[in-house]
Amino acid sequence: MYVQVDVKPSSGSMVEIELVATNTGSNLALHWGALQPGRSEWVVPPAGIRLPEGTIRTPDDAALRTPFKNSGSNSTLKIEIDNQGLESIEFVIVDEAQNKWFKNNGQNFQVHMRPPAGHHHQGQQHSATAGSIGRKNRDVMQLLSKNASTNDQVNKAAEATPSKCTVLDLFIKSLQEKHGSQVLCKKVFKLGEKEILALMSQVQGSTKVHLATDHVEPLILHWALAQKPGEWKAPPPGIVPAGSTLLEIACESPFSDAELNGLHYQVLEIELDDDSYKGMPFVLRSNQTWIKNSTSDFYLDFSRRTAKSSEVTLPFSFSPILAKNLLQKSSQNPMLIFFPCIKGTSDDSKGTAKALLERIADLEEDAQRSLMHRFNIAADLVDQAKDAGQLGLAGLLVWMKFMATRQLIWNKNYNVKPREISQAQDRFTDNLQSLYKMYPQHREMLRMIMYTVGRGGQGDVGQRIRDEILVIQRNNNCMGGMMEEWHQKLHNNTSPDDVVICQALMDYMNSDLDIKVYWDTLNKNGITKERLLSYDHPIHSEPNLKSEQKEGLLHDLTNYMRSLKAVHSGADLESAIGTCTGYTSESQGFMVGVEVNPVKGLPSGFPELLKFVLDHIEDKSVESLVEGLLEARAALRPLLLSSTERLKDLIFLDIALDSTVRTAIERSFENLNNASSEKIMYFISLVVENLALSTDDNENLLCCLKGWNHALEMSKHSDDQWALYAKAFLDRTRLALATKGEEYHDILQPSAEYLGSLLGIEQWTVNIFTEEIIRSGSAASLSLLLNRLDPVLRNVANLGSWQIISPVDVAGYVVVVDQLLTVQHKSYDKPTILVVEGVKGEEEIPDGVVAVLTPDMPDVLSHVSVRARNSKVLFATCFDPKILSELEQNEGKVLSLKPASVDISYREIPESELLVSSSIDTVDGQKAPSLSLAKKQFLGKYAISAEEFSDEMVGAKSRNIAYLNGKVPSWVSVPTSVALPFGTFETVLSDKINKEVSQKVKILTEKLDQGELGALSEIRNVLLNLTAPTYLVSELKEKMQSSGMPWPGDEGEQRWEQAWTAIKKVLASKWNERAYLSTRKVKLDHSNLSMAVLVQQIVSADYAFVIHTTNPSSGERSEIYAEVVKGLGETLVGAYPGRAMSFVCSKNNLESPKVLGYPSKPIGLFIQKSIIFRSDSNGEDLEGYAGAGLYDSVPMDKEEQVVLDYTTDPLVTDCSFRTSTLSSIARAGYDIEQLYGGSPQDIEGVVKDGKIYIVQTRPQIGGEELEVDELLDLQQLRRHILDHLRVYLVVVGVVVEVRRDGCVVGDTTHAAAAPLDCSPNIPILSSPAAARLGSHPAAALGGEAGCESSSRDAVH
């Protein structure tokens, strides 16, 4: 319901207030009064008011009640006021038929009748949603949670500071070193500020229990032995220590004083005589004071010890429960053969808390006795799970989820009172609550565990389940049949099934006793007739109730459901609200006088907010409900982050609110079928907020939320960029969901698989475990909403269904793979079209592949994108899941693909049509080309300045930077550079101080030559042990300082060591897997690859960019294409997820860049003053190899990773700033291209405080092709230049290739020249080819006729 209020001046001082309520019922009334300035009491009835028809006073004379008049679906009311002493009216709205009160977020609505003095009043309009709440205007970042990263820093600090060795540590060390003891199991317990260590050891066939403590007062050990859990059995007299006293079921033994390294402690040793004991229970006595483990006995568990060396250990073992499950299955079907799991193998248990999972498996048989036993065992295992960290909690979650989904037995031949179950539940969740307070980084995992368990409760909460069913039977005369059978089950073993049974009974009665409805409800929730019969107290009968029992039973069962859900449901909203806000159960027969007090410290207006939520829980239109739920979660959040009293109750309330958001959103999907894009975006923003409130490290999600809110504002203001902007945040949100899914899979799935194998869980359940965890949260709903919006945005932004990264017509066989990474070094023996789910950006294109089609979104300038264009491979991103699915269904077929600008057409063709021209070398019998690379020699210098750069000393990366210096426009800068030249690495390795390293590298290289690829990582690690010769250090220091660069060693020896480590990592990158396999692929002799290191001072960038001066996607030479990221460029050229901002700019209009896509990269890298060491090999620009990007560039200091908020980034939000910055980037690219005679360039640079810095440029591979009729004879061109030069010029390395298709490629990238002195009278070449062939500084080529100044600029 929406209420609009209009305030209009009438004649004289009369003011008319009109209220219009839309989408209302027929019984609305205004409950109201007037206010005087500075007063809070209502004036009733105020003078000067014409009371509308039907207005009455309330019985207490405190307010007026005026009915609305109905008009169609609207209700209206008009009030006229002629009293200048009144300031405003206050009101709430009442639905008298349903006794519902609508407030303004718990407060009264207020309407001012007159503006402040001095303001001209034309009329006011107010609007509010009656039946909605007003969201507080809070900063989204107030919801920020970064516990994970904070904890990482704490852990690192802890690792850096070694802990002090305690006397108990010394005691263990003494046992192991002096006595040769093997520690079989151990446990440390807290004794206030002191500790007691209990451990079992084995030495020379003797098994002993040792207890040691730093407790000061003399102690007596009151102990026993146990052969089953919970047992106290007096030990045999022959093993009790001296001075002991044997009792009926225990023994008392005194501790002895001892000392280690001057530290006092007490110790006791017990030698066991029997291997059948399962553990040792004990308590301590100090004088007359008994000391326990909190409220329980201490217990040393022997069952976790390892097998004795003399025992024969089978290669596998059965957990008791698995053995029993397998026997049961075998007896049911003798034809089935079950192979036992391999328990404890490294492969099965990798990525798990192995010891905890095996302990759970050992205890599962006992846990199946009842839910009380299961929850008590779980409570006992919480400490062990905590000690194992996140993987330990993951193990508990998996176990509880298997239980909640009925994969494990809940009860077996054991009668337990409901209150005992709820108390055990309460104990378990109390332990989880303690961890929630102590370990913020694990709160998300702990919430998920609590969701599967339910709240439980002490005393009356569980007992009410038992007592209330009796009252229901008496009140409604249903003492026999199904109700009695259910009562017997409840009396002995209540379970979450009872919630479903209760709901089925209510549905049955609401359907006029239709028994089909009863069974439908049971079956939909996984309860079959067989399951009902499997209970210890089975339910054989169907309900057979009478219509006259309906009203009373429905009333009583509705109340009873609260008790059931309070114990068994972690996500029931009504019971969670009642527990936190308090209630008294006063219904007749229902535990009269039972009272639950409200949680202290709830936010102001919070109970009213929760009442609003409950009042609207069934609304068909869910927007107001979801807003209320999210407002409640946001208000609750500060309490959840503090050590609040009754924190557990608040956690369960938050879980229930979260779950209700999800169900409400899912309920709204049908109504969103024809919804506007704005409405879908609004729903997306609501679900993103809900997900952020449930996530530990939520900064990225909050930045997504801010982006969606901004997109909504852009859409409302008809910004023509809104759809393109929203698409970027859609991509970023999808990426966040994918990242979260991968995180869950990595943490949970290994535990699900290992524990599932130990417990004999059905394989299909294990396979979908993580998927089901994700489906149970908001992420699944969010994904569906994103899928609905995506085609709308692509249509509005004219994006089409594809982004074509490398446009090539191809034909081949369709092959579907999951990740390109897994097949990047495979060779396909026929033309292959890969349909790939995941592409990161750093992969290679496999041999034989003619196309890569993916839903993933690597940058257009990523490594794999460049590789695809260089290799003439079709590479494209598909945004439409339906199209991708159709392509996958064509696996094995031959397709012909033809890309257009934003689309790809395809058709199936017969194999006979597959053109030879589209096949690969291996198909027509040709081998991959073999390239040669001349090994560079060390020329006697360990460090050189930019003036000394030459092709014999450094690679093209360094030479191009040196060439640009002093030639670029004044508004463009080039960082100062020095280099470690070719041969430096080999010379350092051969130095006598590195003899040991050299020998290891030689051995590993021999292994590598024999095909052992594992040697690559070993070589890299060994090279990190290189020592820098003193002459290298002194030469590099001198060159850096003389070039004006800071010397790291001036800041201390540690800083130089950081620099040297970075240099070694660059040199070692020659042996990274991708680079090595790339050289092998083209038959390049890896030993001839030489590595120079370019040293530059890092510019602390605001933005980084890569420019291609010919559009790589379209091949359009008149158009510049560039990509920009916030921060350093590693997120652009490295395998960082998400997209950069992309734009194109016509070379004829550099002032008007056109944005193609806004950024979706969640992470930016930033660094302060530092130095970067860049790889510069002699193979990076080798034609046919394309080695650029294969080797590492390493900064001296670690970059800071920052989650990016694009709503505060002027490049995204400020059109003027964006145009200016992108235009400057494009102009820099154009000017550099002109310096290279118009040859297309691949340029990297940064923007800092508006200034452009160029850090490297190289020829844009594949960007320069000449038609035959444009080609000038190169010999004629050479003679033309030489005839008009005053200084002799030598040009070498000119290569021309005439391809089959008649296209001629000219490459002068390896030309070298002596310095030239140009005469202003040199004739200008008029051929376009002449200008285009001048692609290198050494080729003195001119431009078009009449462009004399450009010609002179091109000749140096």
Residues taking part in catalysis? 863
Task: Determine phi and psi for 1281, rounding to 5 degrees.
Answer: -70, -45
Residues 6+ apart with CB under 8 A from 1281: 1289, 1340, 1341
Task: Determine phi and psi for 906, rounding to 5 degrees.
Answer: -145, 155
What is the Cα 405 distance to its own chain's centre? Answer: 26
Residues 6+ apart with CB under 8 A from 681: 708, 711, 712, 715, 726, 789
- CA distance linking residue 482 with residue 488, whole number of Å: 10
Residues 6+ apart with CB under 8 A from 497: 410, 527, 531
The structure tokens 């003899």 sit at 995
Residues 6+ apart with CB under 8 A from 623: 132, 682, 683, 686
Tokens of 775: 């489906």
CA distances from 116 to 112, 121, 305, 491 (A): 10, 9, 81, 69
- CA distance linking residue 400 with residue 1054, whole number of Å: 50
Name the helix (H) or strand (E) containing 556: helix 550-568
Residues 6+ apart with CB under 8 A from 382: 396, 428, 431, 432, 435
- What does the DSSP assignment read for 921-941? TTTTTPPPP----PPPPP-S-
- CA distance linking residue 379 with residue 426, whole number of Å: 9
> Are residues 58 and 64 in contact, defined by beta-carbon separation less than 8 angstroms?
yes
> Are residues 661 and 778 in contact, defined by beta-carbon separation less than 8 angstroms?
yes
End-to-end CA distance of the chain: 77
- CA distance linking residue 1246 with residue 1129, whole number of Å: 8
The structure tokens 């002995």 sit at 492
CA-wise closest residue to 298 among 360, 232, 356: 232
SS3 category, 525: coil
Where b means 16+ CB within 10 Å and e means fewer, 400-429 reads bbbbbeebbbbbeeeebbbbbbbbbbbbbb
Residues 6+ apart with CB under 8 A from 916: 923, 924
> Are residues 694 and 777 in contact, defined by beta-carbon separation less than 8 angstroms?
yes
Q: Is the peptide bond before 45 cis (omega within 30 degrees of 0)?
A: yes
- CA distance linking residue 972 with residue 78, whole number of Å: 69
- CA distance linking residue 850 with residue 803, whole number of Å: 17
CA-wise closest residue to 1144 among 1134, 1155, 1135, 1133: 1155
Cα dihedral: 1210, 1215, 1217, 1223 (round 10):
130
> Are residues 460 and 423 in contact, defined by beta-carbon separation less than 8 angstroms?
no
- CA distance linking residue 432 with residue 994, whole number of Å: 54
SS3 category, 746: helix
The structure tokens 């977020």 sit at 105
Task: Determine phi and psi for 703, rounding to 5 degrees.
Answer: -65, -35
